[in-house]
Structure formats: structure tokens, C-alpha cells
Structure 1
């Protein structure tokens, strides 16, 4: 199966897409990982979560002006509607996502 482009991934029909810009060496990114898993399982079937390694995908990170990691960007109908850098508590992230479901 061919790899999808980033724009194809964020234009998921009828479903918001939460993108986590991270790096393997990033401590706060490791803290964020279980929070993302929790939120993804809470909203399973209604939310797509994608992880983008900034070291392997620098062009995508530059396109969205990601300067610090972790950076989370929520896309709704292909457009960024929410953005946060740093660790986000699970409850806050879940409430934010809920707005777009």
C-alpha cells in the first residue's frame, strides 16, 4: 500500500486528526505518549491520532512552524483548529478534542 501524504492524512473524512510532533530523544514527548494513547482510546472511531517524528519529517514540521516539541495540532476538515506546545493534561486534551467531534 502506498504511503499517504501528510495532507491526505489530515483530511480524514468526517473525523478530526490530532497530530503529535515529537522526537525520540525528547523527554516531554515521552511524557505525552501515554496521554495521547489514553485520549485516542477514549475517542476511538471518532478521532485519528498521528505521530510525526520531526527528525525524520523536518519539512512537515517546518510547514506548520513547529519550533518546540512536543507540539500538538488538531486538524478539522484539513484545517488546523487548535495548537499547543508542551505537555497537555489528558483531561484538557480530551475536552479540546470533544469540541470537534
Structure 2
């Protein structure tokens, strides 16, 4: 899902009963594409599945600025309407393999 306005993300994170995982990426970003498969694998092993929202940081620069997203991809985890965690790496290799990403998500969730 690509959000056109930050209010939609705010509505989702404030109304969701499950955690929300916002994935900031860009269409032409190679590391963002690499993360897709790894993220799907990691999420499949979580007992509580978060809602995943993909945000095109190029189309939603105000939202990227608001959450200080600098490296792509960046994952923000919200729970009970609050930002509870951030996964942002300069090198995509630091998020691979899926087991490594899973450990990081479990530590936050």
C-alpha cells in the first residue's frame, strides 16, 4: 500500500489492534527489493503478525522527513499508536539473512 498522506498512516497506527510495520522504500532502490523476500520469510515466523504498510519515500517525502527516514529501506514498528522500534541499516547485508531480521523484529515486538 502506498500512502498519499501521512494522516492515513496515523489513522492506521492509532486504530490497529496489531502492530504496524511501516516499510519505507523506493521503487528504484535495489536494497528495498532485496528486503521484500527476507521480510516475508521473517514475518512468517512471528507469532503476532504485524500489519505491513509499504511507503514510497519518494512519493511521501513529508512522511519520510517526519520520521527521519534517511537510509532505504527503513522499517518502523508501531504498537498501540506509538513508535516502538526502528530498523535502519546503511548496508542491506546487515539485515540478511531472514533469521537475523527475525531476531531484530522479535526483540522489538
Give the TM interval when normalised to the shorter protein: 0.7 to 0.9
Q: What is the rounded CA distance, in whole Å, between the counterparts of 2:100 and 2:58 in structure 1?
A: 27
Q: State the SS of the aligned residue for 2:63.
A: helix
Kindly report the root-mean-square deviation, in angstroms, between the aligned alpha carbons of the 2 structures: 2.2
User: Hey, what does 2:42 align to over in structure 1?
Assistant: 39
Q: Deviations over 1:48-73 (max 9, x none)?
A: 11110001111111110111111111
User: Hey, what does 2:21 align to over in structure 1?
Assistant: 18
Q: What is the rounded CA distance, in whole Å, between the counterparts of 2:24 and 2:86 in structure 1?
A: 11
Across the two proteins, how many residue pairs are aligned to each other? Answer: 98
- Contact 1:17-1:75 at 8 Å conserved across structures: yes
Q: What is the rounded CA distance, in whole Å, between the counterparts of 1:10 and 1:53 in structure 2?
A: 17
Q: What is the rounded CA distance, in whole Å, between the counterparts of 1:44 and 1:37 in structure 2?
A: 14
Mark the runs of 5 or more structure 2 residues left unpaired by the alignment. Answer: none
User: Hey, what does 2:78 align to over in structure 1?
Assistant: 75
Under a length normalisation based on structure 2, what TM-score does the superposition of the two structures give? 0.75
User: Hey, what does 1:54 align to over in structure 2?
Assistant: 57
Mark the runs of 5 or more structure 1 residues left unpaired by the alignment. Answer: none
Under a length normalisation based on structure 1, what TM-score does the superposition of the two structures give? 0.80
More helix by share: 2
Q: What is the rounded CA distance, in whole Å, between the counterparts of 1:16 and 1:93 in structure 2?
A: 16
- Contact 2:74-2:86 at 8 Å conserved across structures: yes
- Contact 1:76-1:100 at 8 Å conserved across structures: no
